[in-house]
Structure 1
Amino acid sequence: MSSSPENYYIGIDVGTGSVRASLVNASGKTIAASVQETKTWRDPLNSKIFEQSTTDIWDAVGRATKSCLKASGADPSSVKGIGFDATCSLAVTDFDGAPVCVTKGKGIGEKGERNVILWADHRAEEEADLINGTGSIVLDYVGGKMSLEMEIPKILWLRNNMPPERFSKCQFFDLPDFLTYQATKDSARSVCSLTCKCSYVPKAGWQKDFFKQIGLGELSDRDYAQVGVREGEEALIAGMRVGDGLSKKAAEELGLVEGTHVGSALIDAYAGWMGTVAARYRENGVLSPVVPSLEESGHRLAAVAGTSTCHIVQSPKGIFVNGVWGPYKDPIIAGWWMNEGGQSSTGQLIDFMLTTHPAYAELVQLGKDQQKNIHVVLQEILERLRVENNAESLTELIKDLHLYPDFHGNRSPIADPRMRGSIVGIELDDSLVDLARTYQATLLAIALQTRHIVDTLNVAGHKVTSIYMSGGQAKNRELMQLFADVCGMPVVLPEDSGGAVVLGAAMLGRFAAESEAGAKGREGQAERLWDIMVEMTPAGDMVSPRCSPREKKLLEAKYRIFLETIEIQKRWRKEMETALTEEV
């Protein structure tokens, strides 16, 4: 058992399928970590539906936190602060915090376990279309078009499908804010969640006319009590103290001390930004002597890559980018603005392309026989094929195979949930060789779309010169090299690819713990939070572009084809719609 007086901080990251907790010290070193699975309900007759449970999620939070304490031997009193991040999913409760069912049917709006509409849920397509036809100022701050993955379309869907008397009894939370509410019983909301996902306009706040126009006038009529910040109240900037810290009940559930400071939460991708962009980097094993400044952060794009991928960049002034969310003011650093791009399906897409291929079972068995990860097996097959075909690069090996990756719609910069995937160049082949080629085409497609987002940001006024990765995909070195080669800029990989997001959450806990009691953390937030990030972020490894001139020409051609594929799909869709509307 440890008897050290060292202070610790706990970060809680609620991802799409699990909860991760990390106990870290003031230098950012992970002392203990725990991952606990969570449940997701799908509708077998409707692929758009993804639902979860705050009860299940909070139980996992408790198990993960207690597991960290047990593994580390740390005394609960040595944990001085706790921070949360989560997916941008909609959590619904009554005003006592009891979960309210969001499943369509007779039970909707009553107390029930399934009370979270997951970020990936696409049920609110009609509601998003209605919102996007309003011309409201709120659309200016989401790239001109609101995604059906955001919270207001989902709340409107509930308003349209729930008895009015039940709807009026609901509270609506972006999931990160629900976690701080569950921890403290204080319903304060974060700037991050409200501005990024809930149509809270920078400097102007809630837009009463907008809510009335779309049929959610009840929110404004009740002074926004259902969404947590009334007119004239301030939302909390990242890390500011929430309420009086952990409630007695939450402290017991987490194994911590009542009153432990709780920092205002972040959406998971933004926690990934916190846990990566302040890193120094090693190039060829040599650590750069430069300590990054807050100003340098504006040139570093954080790419948080898991089931989906989010791309976040900061700027001292608001930059409007068509098809890219934002600009959002103060979501993390006070006085700074952020834009957020994204790919709806990346890790999920890789898994789908592998598991649905006829040769997948053979691949899994080969991995077991060779005691190797299946991705390693695929890379070895690809390298053998490259040599056999006398190809200089893997790009040359798949030069005639073109995959477009929007199997689950496009988040940015097209901002069109109707976009779909396509593959050109398929052969009459269901072998392991074909699976390997398809896998490589999938990785390249993800990299090409990343460039599309980076190019769009820079054309609009950003000056991105490097990409800082976090999430599971950062472990795929071949994919990271593709990012560097396709985007023409270095990619920095975190020391712990799976721990960068939860480290960002732990930083929120430290900021809350070190804030002065009266101010709760607003004064001087930018400089103090950045200093914490620099101190706690481990150095990362830089992957520099290294493709030959020959491969660079192929990649440029692939990118032109990628862009052309988008226009072809739009034109084909228009032709089919025209055919349906023309008179016979």
Structure 2
Amino acid sequence: MAAASHDEPLYLGIDVGTGSARAALFSASGALLGAHARATTTFRSPADARVFEQSTDDIWACIAECSRAVLRDAHAAPARVKGVGFDATCSLAVVDGAGSPVAVSPTPQGWAHGTQNVILWADHRAEQEAHEINASRSRVLDFVGGTMSLEMELPKILHLARRMPPALFAQCHFYDLPDFLTWRATGSRARSHCSLVCKCAYVPPGVVADGGSSGWQQDLLRQLGLGQLVDEGYARLGGAPDGDGVILTAGQPVAQGLSARAAAELGLLPGTAVGSALIDAYAGWVGTVAAPATNGPSAAAAVAAGLEASEGRLAAIAGTSTCHVLQSTQGIKVKGVWGPYKNAVFPGMWMNEGGQSSTGQLIDFMIDSHPASPALKAACASTGTSVFEALHAQLDAQRLAAGVAHDSYLTTHLHLYPDLHGNRSPLADPSMRGLLDGLALDASVHDLARVYFATLEAIALQTRQIITALRQEGHRIDALYMSGGHTRNLVFMQLLADVCAIPVQLPASSSTSVVLGAAMLGRFAHETSDGAALESQAAAEAHAHKHADRLWHTMVDMSKPGTFVFPSGDAALTRLLDAKYAIFLDAIATQRRWRAAMDAAVQPLPAAAA
């Protein structure tokens, strides 16, 4: 980690992922001065595998611990921290008007206030509600790829409305988790365009043509039985910009900065600037796509090109799941890919978001569920070797023994379809499940290594499918900008480049891109705070127009050079991977055909004639 001069301003990024919270401290040049992480608690239901819940109390306590630890370890005085930025998963946080948590499942005493007040993004309890919304033909579906995911907030709110006692539901205020964090930090109920547009069924003004309405879709809410939210002026959703609501773009300063309470908890000073938050995937985009490369475009080229340099750079933020985020000057509709989202990061710009619901989680599952896994893990523990190092050593040995040039030849007749937790993009079908073809009566570590590599191939092939869907509708994609833990797996990164036939940029740090993006929001808020809080939508929009490109220059300033991995150009390997991709697509058609046949077989038979 780098050291900064004693008078250089510092910026704190706070990231809440699926399983942990972390804080990282950066200089104005993007040098990492310290980082600290703490595992958050996820509550699972023993009776319902769809349920994933968390607690805002637990999340905030972890954040506070991480913030204080980073300041302590970096020997940084609180006064040097000039800005704080937050990002988080797109999970639904529920509190009452006073900010007390409301449980999102019945407690032993029934529905009540309780600390398990977050429905995690991965929670799939709202499947029926999502089906109903998708059958509505609402205009909002045009801006989520044609299908609203059960991972988004409106299906989850509707699920709660139909189960909570009406009196308790009437107390509930609903936040996408990034916006909850800025509220908890500042006391301001201002929401972010990122959360509202991407996850909360909000359509920005000026987007809808043909006489349709923008903003909150009151016809849909009334149709779903949520008319009380409309009648209240959407106050429990954050308000409306033509009323008392304020919606901010990425990094705009929230209120007057940290409240006294939050500052004490985080170890910072009251009034420290707080930037409007982003969903974690979008913070990963901010922290990734402006980076120059040691073997590619320079920072000077990005500055010269301006914000338009971001077009064609597809960010893949890879962890438990993977999100694929792409910005453009035009709103391009792509079936099965979320968006187009206007103002999600930059005012006037559009985002599309593809994704895979399970990638890191899938890799772990395929390893852990194999019969050879316990023996492999025991051997690794005794030698101090990682499981992944051992698996790649196995693959190397098998490749040498077989006399082949690439690991993909070892899985010629082993094919995995990866949607064990449903498909996010481009099928937008939560009912999809996994398929594995080529199983042998083999419980050896050799077989485990091949299953592991087939899993990497499946993730790469699905990435190719998402890129293909984006390109078919007119998106330009020149390179894939990676962040997250997968980037440490260089074999996997080369596989992605070969399968997708596209350069893949690895970040300077595999673990800090997302939290760096959050810190960039804090710097933007600090440097564009004009002394007055953005208390009206008019003030917010004037500020956004005045500082339209400032965040891009902040991104360029704080991004360290990455390194490109290029496709190998091996014609024989390309032919093999093309054949695997054709089989991947055929697996989708096969599963759907089988599912239709079985659904038809279990339909109720007509009653016998009397």
Normalising by the smaller structure, the TM-score range is over 0.9
Structure-2 separation of matches of 1:156 and 1:108: 19
Q: CA deviation at 1:379?
A: 0.6
CA contact (8 A) 2:338 2:353 kept: yes
Structure-1 separation of matches of 2:71 and 2:576: 52
Q: CA deviation at 1:2?
A: 8.5
Within a 5 Å distance, the mapping from 1:275-290 to structure 2 comes to: 275-283=287-295, 290=301
Provide the residue aligned with 2:339 in structure 1: 326
Provide the residue aligned with 2:208 in structure 1: none
Provide the residue aligned with 2:27 in structure 1: 25
**Residue 402 (1) aligns with residue 402 (2):** no
CA contact (8 A) 1:333 1:525 kept: no
**Residue 220 (1) aligns with residue 242 (2):** no
Letter in 1 for 2:479: S
Q: What SS does the corresponding residue of 1:46 show, helix, strand or coil? A: coil
Provide the residue aligned with 1:253 in structure 2: 265
TM-score by length of 2: 0.93
Q: CA deviation at 1:107?
A: 4.8
Among candidates 555, 558, 561, match of residue 533 of structure 1: 555
Structure-1 separation of matches of 2:547 and 2:419: 38
1:365-404 deviation per Cα after TM superposition (whole angstroms, max 9, x unaligned): 2223332221111111101101112222111111000000
Provide the residue aligned with 2:112 in structure 1: 110
Q: CA deviation at 1:577?
A: 1.2
Q: CA deviation at 1:327?
A: 0.3
1:226-270 deviation per Cα after TM superposition (whole angstroms, max 9, x unaligned): 111225144100001111111111111001001111100000000
Structure-1 separation of matches of 2:518 and 2:410: 42
Structure-1 separation of matches of 2:314 and 2:110: 40
Among candidates 277, 284, 294, match of residue 272 of structure 1: 284
Provide the residue aligned with 2:391 in structure 1: 378
Q: What SS does the corresponding residue of 2:515 show, helix, strand or coil? A: helix
CA contact (8 A) 1:283 1:543 kept: no
Provide the residue aligned with 2:531 in structure 1: 517
Among candidates 286, 297, 302, match of residue 291 of structure 1: 302
Structure-2 separation of matches of 1:310 and 1:431: 33
Q: What SS does the corresponding residue of 1:226 show, helix, strand or coil? A: helix
Structure-1 separation of matches of 2:279 and 2:302: 26
Q: CA 1:404 to 1:115, structure 2 compared with 1: closer, same or farther past 3 Å?
A: same
Provide the residue aligned with 2:364 in structure 1: 351
Within a 5 Å distance, the mapping from 1:99-138 to structure 2 comes to: 99-104=101-106, 107=109, 109-138=111-140
Letter in 2 for 1:55: D
Provide the residue aligned with 1:5 in structure 2: 7
Structure-2 separation of matches of 1:511 and 1:109: 41
Provide the residue aligned with 2:91 in structure 1: 89
1:7-36 deviation per Cα after TM superposition (whole angstroms, max 9, x unaligned): 001000000111010111100111110001
Structure-2 separation of matches of 1:145 and 1:290: 38
Letter in 2 for 1:491: V
Letter in 1 for 2:531: A
Q: CA 1:291 to 1:89, structure 2 compared with 1: closer, same or farther past 3 Å?
A: same
**Residue 495 (1) aligns with residue 508 (2):** yes
Among candidates 566, 574, 593, match of residue 571 of structure 1: 593
1:263-313 deviation per Cα after TM superposition (whole angstroms, max 9, x unaligned): 0000000000000000101229x9786336321211000000000000000
Q: State the superposition RMSD in angstroms.
A: 1.6
Q: What SS does the corresponding residue of 1:473 show, helix, strand or coil? A: helix
Provide the residue aligned with 1:545 in structure 2: 567
Structure 2 spans left out of the alignment, 5+ residues: 206-213, 533-538
Provide the residue aligned with 1:341 in structure 2: 354
Letter in 1 for 2:596: K
Structure-2 separation of matches of 1:24 and 1:64: 14
Among candidates 177, 180, 191, match of residue 178 of structure 1: 180
Structure-1 separation of matches of 2:547 and 2:196: 19
Q: CA 1:384 to 1:262, structure 2 compared with 1: closer, same or farther past 3 Å?
A: same
Letter in 2 for 1:517: G
Letter in 2 for 1:449: Q
Among candidates 197, 205, 229, match of residue 195 of structure 1: 197
CA contact (8 A) 2:291 2:299 kept: no
Provide the residue aligned with 2:602 in structure 1: 580
CA contact (8 A) 2:15 2:514 kept: yes
Structure-2 separation of matches of 1:219 and 1:478: 50
Provide the residue aligned with 1:68 in structure 2: 70
Provide the residue aligned with 1:241 in structure 2: 253
Structure-2 separation of matches of 1:303 and 1:192: 17
Structure 1 spans left out of the alignment, 5+ residues: none
Structure-2 separation of matches of 1:105 and 1:27: 48
CA contact (8 A) 2:106 2:112 kept: no
TM-score by length of 1: 0.98
Structure-2 separation of matches of 1:321 and 1:264: 27
Provide the residue aligned with 2:158 in structure 1: 156
Q: CA deviation at 1:421?
A: 0.3
Count of residue pairs the alignment pairs up:
583
Q: CA deviation at 1:3?
A: 7.8
Q: What SS does the corresponding residue of 2:301 show, helix, strand or coil? A: coil
Q: CA deviation at 1:363?
A: 1.3
Q: CA deviation at 1:109?
A: 4.6
Structure-2 separation of matches of 1:242 and 1:582: 56
Within a 5 Å distance, the mapping from 1:42-61 to structure 2 comes to: 42-61=44-63
Q: CA 1:182 to 1:444, structure 2 compared with 1: closer, same or farther past 3 Å?
A: same
Structure-2 separation of matches of 1:372 and 1:287: 37
CA contact (8 A) 2:7 2:80 kept: yes
Letter in 2 for 1:22: A
CA contact (8 A) 1:350 1:439 kept: yes
Structure-1 separation of matches of 2:175 and 2:270: 23
Structure-2 separation of matches of 1:432 and 1:426: 14
Structure-2 separation of matches of 1:412 and 1:571: 19
Structure-2 separation of matches of 1:508 and 1:346: 27
Structure-2 separation of matches of 1:315 and 1:581: 46
Q: CA 1:470 to 1:353, structure 2 compared with 1: closer, same or farther past 3 Å?
A: same
Structure-1 separation of matches of 2:256 and 2:309: 35
1:46-65 deviation per Cα after TM superposition (whole angstroms, max 9, x unaligned): 11000000000000000000
Structure-2 separation of matches of 1:121 and 1:205: 26
Letter in 1 for 2:431: R
Structure-1 separation of matches of 2:275 and 2:299: 31
Letter in 2 for 1:161: R
Among candidates 456, 460, 476, match of residue 469 of structure 2: 456
Q: CA deviation at 1:315?
A: 0.4
Percent of aligned pairs with the same residue?
53
Q: CA 1:108 to 1:137, structure 2 compared with 1: closer, same or farther past 3 Å?
A: farther
CA contact (8 A) 1:104 1:161 kept: no
Structure-2 separation of matches of 1:321 and 1:387: 43
Q: CA deviation at 1:547?
A: 4.7
**Residue 362 (1) aligns with residue 375 (2):** yes
Structure-1 separation of matches of 2:396 and 2:21: 36
Provide the residue aligned with 2:275 in structure 1: 263
Within a 5 Å distance, the mapping from 1:307-318 to structure 2 comes to: 307-318=320-331
Q: What SS does the corresponding residue of 1:273 show, helix, strand or coil? A: helix
**Residue 413 (1) aligns with residue 426 (2):** yes
Provide the residue aligned with 2:211 in structure 1: none
Q: CA 1:108 to 1:414, structure 2 compared with 1: closer, same or farther past 3 Å?
A: farther
Q: CA 1:329 to 1:288, structure 2 compared with 1: closer, same or farther past 3 Å?
A: closer
